[in-house]
Structure 1
Amino acid sequence: MSDSRPRRFRLRYVAAVLALFAAVIMGLVASNGAESPSVEDYYSSFESRLGYWLLLGNTRHCGLYKKGQLSPFPISRAQRAMEEKLYTRLGLKEGARILDAGAGSGYVAIYMARKGLNVQAIDVTPHHLVDAQKNVRENGLTEKIAVDYGDYHNLTTFNDESFDGIYTMETFVHADDPVKVLNNFYRLLKPGGVLVLHEADFNRNSQRLQEVLRLSHCGNTLEEGEYRKLAEEVGFKDFTLEDLTDEVLPMWRLFGVVGYVPYQLFKLLGIAHRFTNVMAGVEAWLNWGDGRYISVRVVKP
């Protein structure tokens, strides 16, 4: 009988190398676990950049599906459906000027421009701006879309009543001061101008939820009912809300299934807080129903 010790040694060696490789990858991908990461920290972390690239094609928003659909694929088609929902909710005529407040890589702005709208896109994350400017150029839309650095907490570079519409696509949840941001939007809209927010709210608070929101710089995510209250306090009227939670479930189910086993391992190792997107995806799936994905629409009188 041949000696199996060399083979066992090789297997241990391979296992050790794989473990070391996995540790290196985990170290590279993990966020720095900062107590209060900025929105730039969150989107610039390797984990976020890798996840958005692998799963969402660098488009940083949910897809919209038919109620009851199980499969999340093709994801890009669902994302275009969400952009169409946003466009429909805006209800603006061709040639209208709109503000994309948190443009990411510019794909929503590109969709709006192809629908005939003129878009001023802003973002605070440097690599988002680089991506958006590149994507706008490659799509031949530089005459329809301007991409600039901009923080929706300070929009003094824009004149009063200079936009027909404003929208956020999953970026208002990052606001440090939601009331200030709404007041800024109100000032920039023309009378009759429309604001549409595709965002999240929640109806059951918990320590784990607050941890996820803190790590993803969404600590001021509003509770159910707060959008109407704040919008009307600022002066907006004609509040409408569409609950799209069931229509985004296929994508979040995918996040939950893909991330479940790694998340349990990260929790066991005490490093789950360093993998914010994995934590958020799995926890949202496991606690589905505690929050909502909503489309809010209001009008400036």
Structure 2
Amino acid sequence: MADSNPPTSRPAQGRRFRLRYLAGTLVLLASAIIAFISNNGAEAPSVQEYYSSLESRLGYWLLLGNTRHCGLYEKGQLSPFPVSKAQRAMEEKLYTRLDLKPGSKVMDAGAGSGYVAMYMARKGLNVQAIDITPHHITDARKNVKKNGLEDKISVDYADYHNLTAFPDASFDGIYTMETFVHADDPAKVLGNFYRLLKPGGVIVLHEADFSRNSEVLQDVLRLSHCQNTLKEGGYEELVAGAGFKDYSLDDLTDEVLPLWRLFGVVGYLPYQIFKLLGIQHKFTNVMAGVETWLNWGDGRYISVRAVKP
């Protein structure tokens, strides 16, 4: 009697083996890629470690064109594109908040790859750009030279916690674009800014604060070296304590939402997989993007301005 279930043919067995081999290879490759691009999950990484991780460098390059700040959009806008146009709008917002005459000297405290400094230079300001991350300084110098702005921008290594290399009252303005949140001692940094400004000099800080604390928020802030991010209302007290006057704050939260929505949507599925594997802390920017989007309203994106009397 013939067997109603004949043995599986060798070609079919071969195809299944090849599929299993391919699947296994893809899994190993994905694991290797994850291990390669992830950060080390350090308990409290330094600013340099955060920005130098391959995850950060790839993320800023792919999504932000190597520019390390948010874009500014019309309220209610859904599409985040083009991102570069929105970033230029944010730079214009900072420039108008400075409200300085052409030829004024400003410090870009945490210049990254130099895009904000170049925008300010094209507007007629003379910029002293500083940063503490080596590849940022290298990138900024290349970009400044490529754009022919060496006569308007100087790029140097300096830590805004220690600005003794710069004389008192030597700047008309100082700004930060999403870098003051990295300060280990915010009061000391503001004190340094105050000393460097001329009477009537201006600070503008484009930063974040938060209204609701949580364990997840603290994880995100720690892993991105932003653990001293201020609670809502903290900037007014800190700025006044440093001696500044004429404090003003613009809440830009609604106008940065499209880009953060993009971060959340793009990162959502990978983030859920990372959580299942227990490795979400090794992907700081994915975690930050998704959690910020999911908990929108717990924090703000703000523009702070104050004047040295």
Q: One fold, TM greater than 0.5?
A: yes
Residue 163 of structure 2 is aligned to residue 155 of structure 1: yes
Q: For 1:256-285, what per-residue CA distance to the aligned partner results, in whole angstroms no more than 9, with x for missing partners?
A: 000000000101101000000000000000
Is 1:130 equivalent to 2:138 in the alignment? yes
Alignment of 1:137-216 (within 5 A): 137-216=145-224
Q: Which residue in 1 is equivalent to 2:61? A: 53
Structure-1 separation of matches of 2:26 and 2:58: 20
Q: Distance in 2 between matches of 1:276 and 1:107?
A: 23
Whole-angstrom distance in 2 between the partners of 1:233 and 1:80: 32
- Given candidates 70, 73, 94, the residue that maps to 1:65 is 73
CA RMSD of aligned residues (A): 0.8
Correspondence for 2:228: 220
1:253 to 232, 246, 261: 261
Distance 2:65 2:32 in 1: 24
Q: Partner amino acid for 1:88?
A: T
Secondary structure of 2:40's aligned partner: coil
Shift of 1:17: 1.1
Aligned partners of 1:132 and 1:288: how far apart in 2?
32
Instruction: After TM superposition, give the deviation of residue 156 of structure 1 in Å.
Output: 0.2
Amino acid at match of 2:211: N
Identity %: 76
Q: Partner of 1:273: helix, strand, or coil?
A: helix
Unmatched 5+ stretches in structure 1: none
Please identify the structure whose Cα radius of gyration is greater.
Answer: 2
Alignment equivalent of 1:44, drawn from 42, 52, 68: 52
In the TM superposition, residue 7 of structure 1 has moved relative to its aligned partner by 1.2
Q: Quote how far apart the aligned CAs of 1:14 are.
A: 1.1
Q: Tell me which of 291, 294, 298 is aligned to 2:299.
A: 291
TM-score, normalized by length of structure 1? 0.99
User: Could you say what secondary structure the match of 2:230 adopts?
Assistant: coil
Distance 1:237 1:209 in 2: 31
- Opposite residue 186 of structure 1, the aligned amino acid is Y
* 1:10 counterpart residue number: 18
Return the match for 1:243 from 225, 247, 251. Answer: 251
The number of aligned residues is 301
2:101 corresponds to which of 93, 100, 104: 93
User: Shift of the alpha carbon at 1:10?
Assistant: 1.3
Q: What SS is found at the alignment partner of 2:94?
A: helix
Alignment partner of 1:80 is 2:91: no
Q: Deviations over 1:28-66 (max 9, x none)?
A: 110011111000000000000000001001000000000
Question: What is the CA–CA distance in structure 1 between the aligned matches of 2:237 and 2:272, rounded to whole Å?
Answer: 38
| C-alpha displacement of 1:5 | 1.6
Residue in structure 2 matched with residue 119 of structure 1 by the alignment: 127
Gaps of 5+ in 2: 1-7
User: 1:89 corresponds to which letter in structure 2?
Assistant: R
Shift of 1:210: 0.3
